[in-house]
Amino acid sequence: ETGVTQSPTHLIKTRGQQVTLRCSSQSGHNTVSWYQQALGQGPQFIFQYYREEENGRGNFPPRFSGLQFPNYSSELNVNALELDDSALYLCASRPTGGGSYNEQFFGPGTRLTVL
Amino acid sequence: KQEVTQIPAALSVPEGENLVLNCSFTDSAIYNLQWFRQDPGKGLTSLLLIQSSQREQTSGRLNASLDKSSGRSTLYIAASQPGDSATYLCAVYHLSGTYKYIFGTGTRLKVLA
């Protein structure tokens, strides 16, 4: 059973640019969530995808968008980058059904720096 | 609005001590609570998951308890080791418009050799 992987590991962008972060879910998991973790803070929920549909969203503007693919890999896209978008971006996957009885498993994260 | 608080924010102890990390949440209508470990600049490693119907879970030197009615969970680490040094985060699975995990800000633990 493979774990959750994310790419790239690190990324540097400038204000106003767009970025795409990628996540490959753990085998057998069809629910993926994305989180933003600022330095010294706990992760903040961005959104969740289940069977390629967004089924939950946190308090993030529409310039944060996502996709989930049939193979359960997913993307997080951020448009018009701002300095405050600098953070560690984490994806987490849960098993089929994504019910409350299932643990979340996190990837290693992508460190985004916006200059 | 669900809020999760972790106390203390930072903790430094000598090797071998038993220690308790605290997590409190404001809304008891949770589905589960999960404890994680995070090493600097890394992702989260799941330690223990407690369902809302459970009172505690144990894994090795770790024991987590849950008291939903009082909105509290504790993570007990027995015989601490320098390798336990990390940030410990708790998260509650909660319905607030949508189902999502809400995290505390973590406890930074340093175990001194």
Q: What is the DSSP string of A38-71?
A: -TTS--EEEEEEETTEEEEE-S--TTEEEEE-TT
The residue in chain B having the minimum alpha-carbon distance to the alpha carbon of residue A50 is: B99
Residue A29 has pLDDT above 90, yes or no: no
Check: CB of residue B93 under 8 Å from CB of residue B34: yes
Q: Is the pLDDT assigned to residue A86 strictly greater than 90?
A: yes
Per-residue pLDDT at A105 exceeds 70: yes
Chain B residues with CB under 8 Å of A6 CB are: 43
**Looking at the complex, does the CB of residue A88 fall below 8 Å from at least one CB of chain B?**
yes
Q: Which residue of B has its CA nearest to A57?
A: B98
CB pairs under 8 A between A and B: 66
Q: What is the per-residue pLDDT for A97?
A: 57
User: Is residue A1's pLDDT more than 50?
Assistant: no
Cα B18 from Cα B74, distance rounded (Å): 13
Residue numbers in chain B where pLDDT is lower than 50: none
Q: What residues are paired with A90 via a beta bridge?
A: A35
